[in-house]
């Protein structure tokens, strides 16, 4: 994956609208992709942290696990899903289709 900025970056709105011809459609596509990325990252994190889950509620037996802390820190340092989705969209790595265009095309026959 290309280098994704971890902080806020000013974007030119017309660059986002170039692919779809509509700023709002582009933002909608980016937001849906960001949600997909967020779900994927959350599932990965939960599956990795599930290995460390304990069934014991006794505070005396709960201790810090260095590996668990490192995994959490890694995911905290990842760029936000929105930034990742914007970069993917700008680099034309997001597949999307317009269902309205397909309906108009199919109903013309």
Least confident among 7-16, 47-56, 76-85, 98-107: 98-107
Residue 88 lies in a domain: yes
> pLDDT tens digit string along 22-36?
899 999 999 999 999
Mean pLDDT of 19-23: 85
pLDDT score, position 58: 56
pLDDT confidence of residue 49: 81
From CA 36, how far away is CA 52, in angstroms rounded? Answer: 25
User: Contact 23/17 with Cβ under 8 angstroms?
Assistant: yes
pLDDT at position 91 is 87
Task: Answer for the pair 5, 79: CB distance below 8 angstroms, yes or no.
Answer: yes
Whole domain around residue 75: which residue ranges? 35-52+63-108
- Provide the number of structural domains found in the chain: 1
Tell me what percent of the chain is helix, strand and coil, each rounded to the nearest 5: 60, 0, 40
For range 93-105, the mean pLDDT: 69
In a domain, 8, yes or no: no
- 22, part of any domain: no
Q: Give a yes or no: residue 68 inside a domain.
A: yes
In 3D, which of 28, 19, 45, 43 has the Cα closest to residue 85?
28
Query: Within a domain: residue 104?
Result: yes
CB-CB contact of 82 with 21 (8 Å): no
| Interatomic CA distance for residues 4 and 80, integer angstroms | 9
pLDDT higher than threshold 70 for residue 55:
no
Inside any domain, residue 11: no
Average per-residue pLDDT in the chain?
78
Q: Please check whether residue 7 lies inside any domain of the structure.
A: no
């Amino acid at each position: 994956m290309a280098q994704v900025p971890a902080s806020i970056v000013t974007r030119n709105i017309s660059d986002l609208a170039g692919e779809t011809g509509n700023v709002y459609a582009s933002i909608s596509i980016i937001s849906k992709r960001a949600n997909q990325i967020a779900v994927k990252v959350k599932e990965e994190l939960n599956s990795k942290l599930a290995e460390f889950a304990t069934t014991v509620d006794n505070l005396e037996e709960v201790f810090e696990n260095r590996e668990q802390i490192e995994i959490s820190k890694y995911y905290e340092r990842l760029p936000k899903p929105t930034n990742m989705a914007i970069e993917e969209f700008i680099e034309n790595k997001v597949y999307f289709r317009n269902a309205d265009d397909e309906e108009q095309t199919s109903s013309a026959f």
